[in-house]
Chain A
């Protein structure tokens, strides 16, 4: 189980990194989704998935009768998924806004913030 998860996580991370290295912002988004889910799987595997029995303690007892699933990684992943989703929504909007204002999704062509000319660059012209 852990071997499969490790391999899957590695493959997803590799694919995600490959996509993120491209110059196209949309590819970056897809890469980010893959990579963040790869990390979520990694945390899941870190919790030693073995049994699927829910971590419930019977009435009157102080500890579970048999080995139960580790619920902590699930709580961590749930948090990470929620945060990741919020970030994803934000970067979709940001990239779309950038595309509308800058007219490109190619990161090589996005140079508004980095003009190094001594005089007034495109940066200054663009300011309202």
Chain B
């Protein structure tokens, strides 16, 4: 059982080592990546099963009891996040086989991908604040290298901005962590939950919590800290932007949810109003930014921002229903967003460009492709009965229940504007006839590999499945939110009777 908690971290690192050994054999690398993704997914499923049936799982690494050693903890939220990481990992591993050029393979694409996933899994599973910092760094280092792997001008430019802002976020996190340690003398998150309540000056705790809000807000792409995201996410290969869009910002959201339920439950400190305000502005600015752009991956990047706003809205409201909505949204969004980025690669293959102005006529030539785009795009916008509809419904309902009518209105209007954006891509890329001048140049290289099509189809099926049977995921999200709102089970699982 204890191996089950460490496995999602160990597997990607083991596969990374294997991939490094087979450096000059692309087929071996890709096969090991797909196998690694499948095993990671299976382990994630087993972990969720275990947590669901036997309660929160804890592993004291090296046998050192918490709070002295580092504990790995899996509650419903962590297990769900690890499972969805496996879904993304597997899809991207399959997609990479056809998309990643020999040049990038030579520079170590696969080992970096595995290390990235290892870091992400570690961040989801750790129960120790300093360990979370270390996993963040593992993840960042791999993402830095993946982002600039192609060494084009745009990648280097986007990479510089991405690296700079992330290093600042890291420093803020580290400073906040040091101050928390100074106030409490511990770094174990369950222990911190108890100790932070007894700090004599709540103002100090609130001030430090804002450091965490800023640090994780930068990673999540929260307003006004999101500018690095649309400046960098459209530059790397599609498989890389897909995994970034699905998982990296979501690690930030996960960290926000974890810290602001376990460590700094909102008191009357004004932090909650700050979070709600930031969430509303994130939704609005993100969707407006998307409306202003005409390159598919930039539009999608801005939508990541606006969707992060929804999740943080759920966190800010902090009612059981709102938190359930946030977790539901998080999971649905990862599936949909990764899929949309993967499809943008297909569109490029079919139409020869990411620029909407140069695309067109794909509906006539690519009927199935149009369907595959339609599902995630309109799920993102919240059209029933797709998964995004339920996610938005829960959150809007939760805002109404909590009496935040303005926020409910914002969430609804932003959903409408998302429809506008998705319709724009639909009209330009699929519906309008292709400009005569571009017609001959693009039609030649339009054969798309099954390796790229398969993950897109699977993720689209998953979106439909969540949409038609939302109950399973809803119940999981509800259990996760119950554990978050009442951390006593979490604390007891980690610390036992130690107080």
Contacts and interface: CB of A to CB of B under 8 A. Distances in A.
B295 to A, nearest CB: 9
13 contacts: A20-B168, A39-B171, A43-B178, A76-B181, A79-B130, A87-B141, A90-B141, A94-B156, A95-B160, A102-B157, A112-B154, A113-B157, A126-B152
Nearest to B134: A79
Interface in A10-27: 20, 25
B175 A128 contact: no
Given A47-B182, A79-B130, A113-B158, 5 more contacts: A39-B171, A43-B181, A46-B181, A90-B145, A122-B153
B interface majority secondary structure: helix
Interface string A85-128: 01100110011011001100001001111101011101110111
A interface majority secondary structure: helix
Most B-side CB within 10 Å, residue of A102, A107, A123: A123
A96 to B, nearest CB: 10
B366 interface: no
Nearest to B144: A90
B448 interface: no
A43 B231 contact: no
B137 interface: yes
Contacts of A76: 130, 178, 181
A33 to B, nearest CB: 11
Interface residues of A, number: 45
Interface string B158-175: 111101100110110011
B482 interface: no
B175 A87 contact: no
B415 to A, nearest CB: 25
Nearest to B232: A113
B154 A42 contact: no
B371 interface: no
A66 interface: no
A80 interface: yes
Contacts of B130: 76, 79
B479 to A, nearest CB: 34
A46 B182 contact: yes
Interface of B: 130, 133-134, 137, 140-141, 144-145, 148, 151-161, 163-164, 167-168, 170-171, 174-175, 177-179, 181-182, 231-232, 234-235, 292-294, 355, 357
Contacts of B159: 94, 98
Contact of B174 (A20, A43, A72, A73): A43
A38 to B, nearest CB: 8
A115 B178 CA distance: 40
A3 to B, nearest CB: 14
B289 to A, nearest CB: 10
B293 A116 contact: yes
The list of the 6 closest CB pairs from A to B, nearest first, reads A46-B182, A113-B158, A43-B178, A112-B157, A126-B153, A113-B157
B84 to A, nearest CB: 27
Nearest to B292: A116
A120 B182 CA distance: 53
A110 B144 contact: no
A91 B163 contact: yes
Given A47-B181, A113-B231, A126-B153, A39 B160 contact: no
A99 B255 CA distance: 34
A69 interface: no
B181 A101 contact: no
A98 B154 contact: no
A28 interface: yes
Interface in A65-81: 72-73, 76, 79-80
Given A39-B174, A83-B137, A120 B163 contact: no
Contacts of A32: 167, 171
